[in-house]
Amino acid sequence: MLVVMRLRPTALLMLAALAASAAMAAPAASAADPVRLLTGPTPETGAFPADRFTVADPAQLTGRRVSLPVPTCTAQTRTVCDSLSLLNTLDGFDLQPRVFLPFSGRIDVGTVTPDTVYVEGAGRRVGLQQLTLDRSRNVLAGTTREQLQEQTGYVLVVTRSVRDASGAPLEREVRTPFTTMSGTTELDRLRRALDDGSAYTQAGIGSRVASFTQGSTTTVFPPTASELMMRLDQQSADPNAPLVSSQVPNLALAGVGCYAFGSFESPQFTRPDSTIPPTPSGATARALGSARLGFALIVPAGPPPPGGWPTAVYGPGFTRSYFDLFVTSDLNAAAGIATLATHPLGHGYGPASTISVGAPGAETTFLSYGRGRDLDADGAIAAAEGSQPIETRSPAGTVEASPNALHGLRGSLTQTVVDNMALVRAVQAGISVPGCTLSPGATLARADVKYFGLSFGGIYGTMLMGTDPSVRTALLNVPGGPVVDIARLGGFRPRLAATLGASRPSLLNGGPGLDGFTESIPEPHDPPILDPAPGAMELQRYLAYATWYGRPGGPETYAPLIRRQPRNGVKSLLLQVAFGDHTVPNVTSGNILRAGELFDRTTYYRNDLTPTADQDPHGFLADPRRTGRQMGQAQLTAFLTTGQIVDPDGPAPVFEVPIANRDNLQCLHYPPPQTGRDAFPPPAAGPCPARPADAQVAVPSPPAPAPGRGAVQAPAAPTTAAAGQSGALPATGSEVVLPALAVLAMAAAVGMRRTRR
């Protein structure tokens, strides 16, 4: 029974290629000339980012709009024009930018420190990390060590303390102002449009109430149907082709009153290729129509408590579907929690997909509301096809990049959050389940809807938690960001290579890296890379551009809103991260935790200490073959039921509660795929090295707490002056770590009391 995430060859968010030829060599300086930082008229010939590449625009919240120079467009540079045109709709620069600094001569990279090159603004200085120095062209690249605040003015400072190869200082200090983009505004405005009703009106939706009928068929079934559920997926664009059938794995058996399959309507803001039309940040995107979405629901047995069953929404992973609800919520029903889930955008295969429930010859068959579509015109609908723009094959056999390739998963993630918010509002409108024989009068509680999500579901779950005041409690399992980094460092790297190869010009630069490209970007604790692979600097720039455009669909962008800058109220959060995760690498999970200061809310599953250490632990919460699955499920249900964090293996070392060493989220725990070695050799490598005290790294992080085996001190609520500042964090719910068995017994007792009522 396969329940782990399948890495099918469906398009993942990738960047569009920009002009490889645009990177120009810096003019050589004579021996007598002091080296200077260049300030040329293009991003390749001057310090970047910079406000000089913007124009005034009163329609934007920042008052600015990006205006990068666009070259003459040809068939061989069409991706350049497409990508720059999209970037030129933004109202500012990336929130954690990769900085590019061209010099007139060679510099000593050892003199590049957080005191000599930094970004200044919002009351702090932020140095650079992940440095690459191309000594053939005298270009230095580095990423800011922290995520910056959105819609904020900063200054990129390069001081004279940077030395040239002879030890002489730079000619002069250069201060380059730039403004960061609106990262969370688009989704926040869409949430407000749901709540004021304007999005529903634009979409032509008159009712938010969910339905459990299709025609004359009622789609609610008793627990005896647990082994009689078949999915029939439309995997062909030909409507006459047979559907592909498979049994629905179901581990959610205990305490179930009924299984139900419902539907609701949600406003849709995406075009057929999953992209949302660019909208000025001072305006709200308009709904382009509506969609009836399906959902699966597991109702607990027994009469519901007053007000209805407590409810949790589940977010499926990438390439997965709402059928995963049956392998990610084993214990919820027995603890008195109703659980439901809907497909992410582009998932669940084609719209003709169905479900069949019952014995052969007496089954009930109805639509599953698949959301996939054949975007590449190859006649097939893959597991997540429809979740992002994808390259197509021309009649002549040439692979063509989508003109919207730079959108990647941004639109899909945003729309999927909107759909889950619409599902929450359907719960708030009132859900009564007809014909649930073992839970007569089954209704769902309208208030305090909780959330949990795995992988992709953890990614858009982070966005949901930062944006929606209606959802205050969530468990996020193995999320990460930005998505471009997930792709280049993990198991989706081949999909990234396909998109890079389809771009014009191609960005596949060869070298030692796996899958035809080598980016030459060191990890955060690594020393600078000198003399990168040919073409790597162009590739770095355009990976950075794709990350920049994708930030409004990136979980790291919303992480500060959960706790550091709680825009939508106090939230209770628990994250689960797996050591050596090959699908969503640990560095990308760490980006979310660093942006939101969430380390004390994080459980670290030490897969390297288990008998399954030679396997990718990514899907451990859903896969019975992984050692930590049952413990992860126990921690999940205890948290949803009581709001308390349990250490599911007590004094044993497999679950660190909270994570003991935050430096373990600064490396991959396997050889980086850009080295050309296999990305996940068994067994996983050991812990990350400690943060080095070298010239390229700022002051060390504060010491992390030891593994929790008892009470954890809850952070104090901030004063008005300190709210949202680092070191003064609002409380995020109960921080008490209890023995797992005690809390599960408590949860079971609560469930039994509800059942007896």
pLDDT of residue 698: 36
- CB of 418 within 8 A of CB of 200? no
Distance CA 748, CA 282 (A): 49
118 shares its domain with 221: no
Phi and psi at residue 542, to the nearest 5°: -85, -25
pLDDT digits 0-9 by tens, 20-55 = 333 334 444 455 689 999 999 999 999 999 999 999
Place of tokens 């139900």: 260
Query: Residue 622 domain-assigned?
Result: no
Last residue of a domain, one of 414, 437, 460: 437
Residue segments in the chain with a per-residue pLDDT below the cut of 70: 1-32, 682-683, 693-757
* One domain for residues 238 and 137: no
Same domain, yes or no: 202 and 163? no
Check: CB of residue 522 under 8 Å from CB of residue 531: no
Q: Tell whether 305 and 193 lie within a shared domain.
A: yes
CA atoms within 13 A on the CB side of 195: 11
Please identify which residue in the block is written with the tokens 């979740």.
387
Q: How much is the pLDDT for 687? A: 86
For residue 587, tell me if it sits in a domain.
no
Same structural domain, 170 and 246: no
The DSSP code sequence of 44-97 is: TTB-BS-GGGEEE-TTSTTSEEE----PPP-TTSHHHHHHHHHHTT-SSB-SSP
19 — alpha (psi -120 to 50), left (phi > 0) or beta? Answer: beta
pLDDT of 209 reads: 96
CA 450/CA 571 separation, integer angstroms:
11
In-domain check, residue 753: no
Residue 151 lies in a domain: yes
The domain boundary residue, chosen from 437, 464, 484:
437
The model carries a pTM of 0.90
Q: What is the pLDDT of residue 430?
A: 97
Q: Are residues 83 and 214 in the same domain?
A: no
**For the chain, how many structural domains are there in total?**
2
Q: What is the pLDDT of residue 105?
A: 97
For position 43, which CATH number holds?
A: 2.60.40.1220
Instruction: Find residue 739's DSSP bridge partners.
Output: 647
Query: Could you list the residue range(s) of the whole structural domain that residue 420 is in?
Result: 185-437
Whether residue 19 lies inside any domain: the answer is no
Q: Residue 496: in which H helix or E strand, if any? A: helix 493-502
216 in any annotated domain: yes
Looking at the fold, whether 384 and 433 belong to one and the same domain comes out as yes
Query: Is residue 562 a part of any domain in this protein?
Result: no
Same domain (yes/no): 165, 38: yes
Only one residue has tokens 């389809």, namely 502
End-of-domain residue from the set 134, 155, 179: 179
- Phi then psi for 146, rounded to 5 degrees? -135, 155
Q: Are strands 213-214 and 217-218 parallel, antiparallel or unpaired?
A: antiparallel
**Do the domain assignments include residue 2?**
no
Residues 232, 228: Cα–Cα separation, whole Å: 13
Return the pLDDT at 127. Answer: 96
Same-domain check for residues 282 and 228: yes
Q: Which residues pair with 218 in a beta bridge?
A: 213
| Those residues with Cβ within 8 angstroms of residue 370's Cβ, 6 or more apart along the chain or in another chain | 233, 234, 343, 347, 348, 349, 350, 351, 352, 353
The Cα angle at residue 430 between residues 427 and 434, in degrees rounded to 5: 105
Distance CA 106, CA 142 (A): 16
Does residue 132 sit in the same domain as residue 201?
no
Q: Same structural domain for residues 200 and 169?
A: no
Residues 107 and 196 in one domain: no
